[in-house]
Amino acid sequence: MSITTTDAKGDLETDPNASKPQGFRRNKTLFIALTHITLIVLSVTFFMPFLWMLVTSIKPIKETMTNPPTWIPSQLLWHNYPDAITYDSKELGYLPFPTYARNTLIITLLSVAGAVTSNSLVAYSFARIKWPGRDLFFALTLATMTIPFPVLMVPVFSLFRWIGWVGSFKPLWVPAFFANAFSIFLLRQFFKTIPMELSEAAKIDGCSELRIFLDVIAPLSKPALSVVALFTFMGAWNDFLGPLIYLVDQHTFTLSLGLQAYQSQHGGTQWNLLMAASVIVVAPVILVFFFAQKVFIQGIATSGLK
């Protein structure tokens, strides 16, 4: 590092701009303006597909494939939404999208519950209880992060087949109750930042490890726990390969699989309905993120993912 940290804070606080040349302030304004412009351009790029998705979701089918594409629908077909939800329901005998959504929710919520409980217990053990072989086992745990899922896919499938779980949701959420390396790592880093003195004081009061974990550590770890919850949520919500292998009946499909079925099965893809369905799938996740993002980022920052 070529920078030496000098303690110049005091000067700056009294008058932040006093010591800076005139040009600096102009530069700063320019810099902020540039930042804004870049951000807006990038936002438009990132947001364009979604705007397109929204626009298309209320278009008549004929306008979804015009050349050149039109941004403004000739009429606003809000009934595309109920249509998307009830699509095929007569033939299938149930409402596909609410069914897929319910299935996805069941799997996702169970995975989150499993991941949060199991990972926090394990990480607590790695971070704050001494036992023989712990550090070696932790190193092994980190090493397992490099194993790609496809490597384990075939034997895990055979295992679940042997138990008779193929076709049920269990292969998709039960493993979450057995922790995973990434979440353990993340939580362990966080738990390590909590002073040991807190635990020791509690121990003197006669608290068991479980009580310390529940009453002292867990309440302090909400940001990190929410990160694990959110990552698990996103992983389960977006999972495609898992449901593709384990789910068999169409009425047990998740949203990911359901959307694909939409695209490939109905000869003429009903783009407007597909997009309406996608909006329905995506909207709740966006809302969750929008309101949870602060805790989320704080959680990653303080757990020191590095």
Partner 1 sequence: MTTQTVAGMWAAAVALVVCATVGEKVVSRQASTDKVTVIYWEKWTGSEAEEMRKVVTAFNHSQDKIFVKYLSISGVDTKTMLATAGGDPPDIAGIWQDQICQFADEGALTDLTDMGKAAGLDTSYYIPGFWDGITFRKRLWALPSTPASIALHVRTDLVPPDVNTPETFPKTIEGLDKLVDRISKKRKDGGLQLAGFLPSDPGWWNWAWSGLFGGKLMDGDKVTINSPEAIRAFEWIDTYGKKFGSKEVQSFQSGFGNFGSPQDPFMDGKVATEINGVWKANYMKVFKPGTPWFAVPIPYPADRPDLAGHTILSQDVLTIPRGAKHVKEAFEFLKYVQRQDVMEGLCTGHGKNSPLMKVSEKFFDNHPNKSIRLFDALARSPKAFSQPKVGIYPQMSSEITVAFQEVTTEQKTPKQALDDCQARVQKIWDTYKAQVAGADK
Partner 2 sequence: MNKRDARVGILFALPWILGFMIFTIYPLLASLFFSFTNYSVLRPPAMVGAANYVDLAHDGVFWKSLSNTFLYAIGAVPLSAVIAIILAMLLNTKVKGMAVYRTIFFLPSLVPMVALATLFLWIFNGDYGLLNVAFKVVHITPPNWLGDPAWTKWTLILITMWGSGQAMIIYLAGLQDVPVSLYEAADLDGATFWSKTKNVTLPMISPVILFNVIMGMIGSFQVFAIPYVMFPDGAPARATYFYTMYLFDNAFKYQRMGYASAMGWVMFLITVILTLAAMKFSERHVHYEGG
- Chain residues binding partner 1 by CB under 8 A are 65, 67, 88, 91-92, 99, 102-103, 106, 109-110, 113, 117, 161, 164, 166-169, 173, 214-215, 218-219, 245-246, 248-252, 257, 260-261, 264-269
Which of partner 1, partner 2, none does 191 bind, CB closer than 5 to 8 A by kind?
none
The Cα–Cα gap between 118 and 178 comes to: 6
We find the least distance from the C-beta atom of residue 93 to partner 2, in angstroms, to be: 24
We find the least distance from the C-beta atom of residue 114 to partner 1, in angstroms, to be: 8
Q: Give the E-state strand segments of the chain in sequence order.
A: none
Residue 68: is the preceding peptide bond cis (ω within 30°)?
Answer: yes
Residue in 54, 85, 106, 177 binding partner 2, rule: CB under 8 A: 177
* Residue 102 vs 142, nearer CB to partner 1: 102
Torsion angle of the four alpha carbons 136, 142, 144, 146, in this order, in degrees rounded to the nearest 10: -140
Block residue for tokens 């596909």 = 96
DSSP letter at 61 equals G
What number of other Cβ atoms are within 10 A of residue 209's Cβ? Answer: 15
126, 138 in Cβ contact below 8 A? yes
Q: Please give the residues from 45 up to 64 whose contact with partner 2 meets the rule CB under 8 A.
A: 46-50, 52-53
Q: Report if residue 241 touches partner 2, rule: CB under 8 A.
A: yes
We find the least distance from the C-beta atom of residue 145 to partner 1, in angstroms, to be: 26
Q: Report if residue 193 touches partner 2, rule: CB under 8 A.
A: no
DSSP letter at 205 equals T
What number of other Cβ atoms are within 10 A of residue 124's Cβ? Answer: 22
Take residue 126 and report the two structure tokens written for it.
Answer: 């790695």
Q: Report if residue 15 touches partner 2, rule: CB under 8 A.
A: no
* Residue 10 vs 68, nearer CB to partner 1: 68
